[in-house]
Amino acid sequence: MTVTERPAHATEAVQLRQVSRVYGTGDRAVTALDAVTLGFRSGTGTAVMGPSGSGKSTLLHCAAGLDRPTGGKVVVAGTDLGPLTETARTRLRRAAIGFVFQSFNLMPALTAEQNVALPLLLAGAKPPRDAVRAALAEVGLADRARHRPSELSGGQQQRVAIARALITRPAVVFADEPTGALDTGSSREVLGLLRRLIDQHGLTVVMVTHDPVAAAYADRVVFLADGRVADELTAAGGPPAAAEIATRMARLESAC
């Protein structure tokens, strides 16, 4: 298996301390994130929800080192991103963070196994063929290694993207609407796969979603409104139920 095992005692893979992000200046300034403090524990899944414009993408980009906060501190796998140069941040991102996007973002000219190997190549490592094959087997696609994305269904493409995210043994996988482009059946498969990787291999997942059913696969749901954490649901004897998540979302949306 290609992902890290669950640590003996849970630590936080990602920490945000008083993180703010203001776009623009003066009259045009928009506070997308307003002093958010959050931690994402290793070996757990968190869903981030909230009305349109509440700051979900900004949170994801700041937590993943794709954007620099205007205030506060982001720590990924024990490293404070603030003092890092662009090059060092890119290196840390490649080593410690996996990404899964709504639109899969696979390279169309490459086969499934070449796509999965790509992060290791970008990090300057020679991808071990066994590890690439093991990652594809883990997502149920051992027999599709030589297929190109156009020869795979949407759900299969997203599973290749998940194998690609796992190949570097990341401390955390950020997923931005991972089921947004999938039908119900494929969505369930992808969400079930992420859940299994969390439970059996201690993967840490932070997933932005608009879908209460997808959020119900997480251990915890964080609700944003106006750039702040407005509400939170955690598993108490089981994952949060989709109906309760939908109710909380409706409450937030009516308050906006």
Ligand X SMILES: Nc1ncnc2c1ncn2[C@@H]1O[C@H](COP(=O)(O)OP(=O)(O)OP(=O)(O)O)[C@@H](O)[C@H]1O
**Under the criterion CB under 6 A, does residue 54 sit at the interface with ligand X?**
yes
**Under the criterion CB under 6 A, does residue 50 sit at the interface with ligand X?**
yes
- CA separation for the pair 170, 178 (Å, rounded): 17
Q: Which C-beta is closer to ligand X: that of 4 or that of 57?
A: 57
Q: Which C-beta is closer to ligand X: that of 61 or that of 159?
A: 61
CB of 211 to ligand X, least distance (A): 12
Backbone angles phi, psi at 150, to 5 degrees: -65, -15
Q: Which C-beta is closer to ligand X: that of 18 or that of 200?
A: 18
**Under the criterion CB under 6 A, does residue 56 sit at the interface with ligand X?**
yes
- CA separation for the pair 114, 160 (Å, rounded): 10
Tell which one of 57, 79, 105, 153 touches ligand X (CB under 6 A): 57
Q: Which C-beta is closer to ligand X: that of 11 or that of 57?
A: 57
Tell which one of 43, 45, 55, 239 touches ligand X (CB under 6 A): 55
Look at residues 199, 123, 217, 111 and name the one whose alpha carbon lies nearest to residue 160.
Answer: 111
CB of 116 to ligand X, least distance (A): 28
**Under the criterion CB under 6 A, does residue 107 sit at the interface with ligand X?**
no
CB of 32 to ligand X, least distance (A): 3
**Under the criterion CB under 6 A, does residue 58 sit at the interface with ligand X?**
yes
**Under the criterion CB under 6 A, does residue 180 sit at the interface with ligand X?**
no
Please enumerate in sequence order all residues whose Cβ is within 8 A of that of 74, keeping only pairs 6 or more positions apart, or say none: 14, 15, 16, 17, 19, 62, 63, 65, 80, 81, 82
**Under the criterion CB under 6 A, does residue 212 sit at the interface with ligand X?**
no
DSSP 241: P
- CA separation for the pair 85, 91 (Å, rounded): 10
CB of 231 to ligand X, least distance (A): 14
DSSP 69: -
**Under the criterion CB under 6 A, does residue 32 sit at the interface with ligand X?**
yes
Tell which one of 10, 29, 30, 250 touches ligand X (CB under 6 A): 30
| Cα angle 190, 5, 37; round to 5 | 75
DSSP 33: E
The neighbouring-strand residues paired with 206 are: 46, 174
Rounded to the nearest 10 degrees, what angle do helices 112-122 and 129-138 cross at? Answer: 120
Q: Which C-beta is closer to ligand X: that of 23 or that of 80?
A: 23
Residues that bind ligand X (CB under 6 A): 23-24, 30, 32, 50, 52-58
